[in-house]
Amino acid sequence: MAHLLNQIFDWFAAWLGGSVANDSVAGYVVAALIYLALLLNLVAVGALVFIWLERKVSGRIQDRLGPTRVGGKFGWLQTLADGIKLLTKEDLIPGDADKLLFRIAPYVGFCASLSAFIAIPFAGRDFPFVAQHLNVAVFFVLAVMGLEVFAVILAGYASASKWSLFGAMREAAQVVSYEVPMGLCVVVPVMLAGSMDLVHIGDKQQGWFTNWYLFHDPFTFIVFWVYFTCGTASVNRAPFDLAEAESELVAGFHTEYSGLRWSFFFMAEYGSMLAVSLLAAILFLGGWNGPIPVASLLGLTWHNGPLVGYLGNFLGMLNVLAKAFLLVTVMMWVRWTLPRLRIDQVMTTCLKYCTPIAAAMFVGAALWHMTLPDRVFAGLLQSPAANRLLAEPLPGDSIQLDLQTVEAATIARGGRP
């Protein structure tokens, strides 16, 4: 992207009689700004849509209509009106609060939530739609999302309210614990794909929906649900919303917040929900590969030129977003149906159920992968390779846990010979 921009700048500069180097900082800065704008839009607009959706979904679940007036049909501008209301609200800071930390906490949370999107790809293959293509993307996303806990702890501490402190302590205990089973679940698709690169993991599931890691074997099928449970817990959604449990802790860690700062916590929450769902979509639900490989069937591949490939990628992006939205809707459905667990039950769920199940499934999936390589559901379904419509090898296929290939790959990568 940056190089492309620099080339464009160079073209303009040549017009004015100058030149711009290929690795000029201008291209990088502009590229970064474009990525930032796109991701901010995704998170902010996503939050707008999700809050509207949450109200609609909860309304329908509860035999109500939800918002109907603002913005004409379906009340689709309701969230915007809410946002304006929040902007005009009085901004309260408790007298005993640690003012600096109190002010900064919501932005820390939002930044942590936003930076997870840096490494999440929205389409793959030859020209992945991703802000920063990291070869440790999965790890990075998990790590960054773990930072959100700091916002909650700081908010809880700085509010100088006992309810906030309770919320913060619960959040700290909960998030740190749930990172363990979540990490174990994520390792399973990483192992199957042989890479921590999300682009590569997504591309590996190319083809019909039977190639999704969800359907790879019985173990991965279970792992997906464990992951989704842990994901729900790690973003503090009901039935695990203990940090803000309104019937116990008033509003938990954001009891003392109001106005815009409070809305940043909400944006962070919805941002994390989207990030967790996107990760689930890429790791288990085939990412940008739809249930039916429409793009491949229509010939929208990189074989047939960049523009067509780009169009295929665009379809893939819609695909992954649709899956993530679906998962977010499921989270809402769960929230408006189930009561909240108690703190000890949340910890029990994590340590006594999720972690052992995830560990056992990890071992099971590993054994499956070793004994029945390339066999999906005991060979009942076509193997992924046969199922794949593209003859071309995947960009990351060369990395194998095999010494010879590693050797070759290292040399091919231009590493030290």
Partner 1 sequence: MNWTSCLFLLCSLMAGGFAVAVVLSSNIVRMAFYLVLSLAATAGLFFLAGADFVGAMQLMIYVGGTLVLLVFGVMLTAQSQFVQMRTSSGELLTALILGGALLVVLVSTAINVPAWQPTSNPAVDSATPVITATPIGMALEGYRVDQLTQPDTALRRGMSGYLFPFIIVSVHLLVVLIGAAYLARAKRPVVERMR
Partner 2 sequence: MTTAQTIEIDVRTDEMLVNMGPQHPSTHGVLRLVLRTDGEVVSEVMPHIGYLHRCAEKIGENLTARQWVPYTDRMDYLAGMNMNLGWALAVEKLMDYQVPERGRHLRVIIAELGRIASHLVGMGAYGLDLGTFSPFLYAFREREKILDLFEEVCGARLTYSYLTVGGATADFPPGWLEKCEAFLDQFVPVIDEYHALLTTNAIFIKRTAGVGLLSAEMAIDYGCTGPVLRGSGVDYDLRRDGEPIYTSMYEGYDYEVICQRAGHYPKDQEYPPVPIEAVLGDCWHRFYVRMLEVVQAIGLVRQAMAKYRASDGSFGEPMKLNQKLPKGEVYLETESPRGQMGFGLVSNGTAIPWRARARSSCFCNLSVVSELCRGCLIADVPAIVGSLDIVMGEIDR
Residues that bind partner 2 in the complex, under the rule CB under 8 A: 58, 61-64, 162-163, 166, 169-170, 238-239, 241-242, 245-250, 336-345
Least distance CB 238 / partner 2 (angstroms): 6
153 binding partner (options partner 1, partner 2, none; Cβ < 5 to 8 Å by kind): partner 1
Least distance CB 401 / partner 1 (angstroms): 8
249 binding partner (options partner 2, partner 1, none; Cβ < 5 to 8 Å by kind): partner 2
Least distance CB 161 / partner 2 (angstroms): 10
The CA distance from 141 to 149, in Å, is: 14
* Closer CB to partner 2, 340 or 375, in the complex: 340
314 binding partner (options partner 2, partner 1, none; Cβ < 5 to 8 Å by kind): none
Question: Footprint of partner 1 on this chain (CB under 8 A)?
Answer: 23-25, 28-29, 98, 100-101, 133-136, 139-140, 142-144, 146-147, 149-150, 153-154, 157-158, 165, 168-169, 172-173, 175-176, 179, 195-196, 399, 401, 403, 406-407, 410, 413-417
* Closer CB to partner 1, 93 or 318, in the complex: 93
* Closer CB to partner 1, 337 or 348, in the complex: 348
* Closer CB to partner 2, 90 or 344, in the complex: 344
The CA distance from 76 to 78, in Å, is: 6
247 binding partner (options partner 2, partner 1, none; Cβ < 5 to 8 Å by kind): partner 2
Residue 408 amino acid letter: A
* Closer CB to partner 2, 51 or 238, in the complex: 238
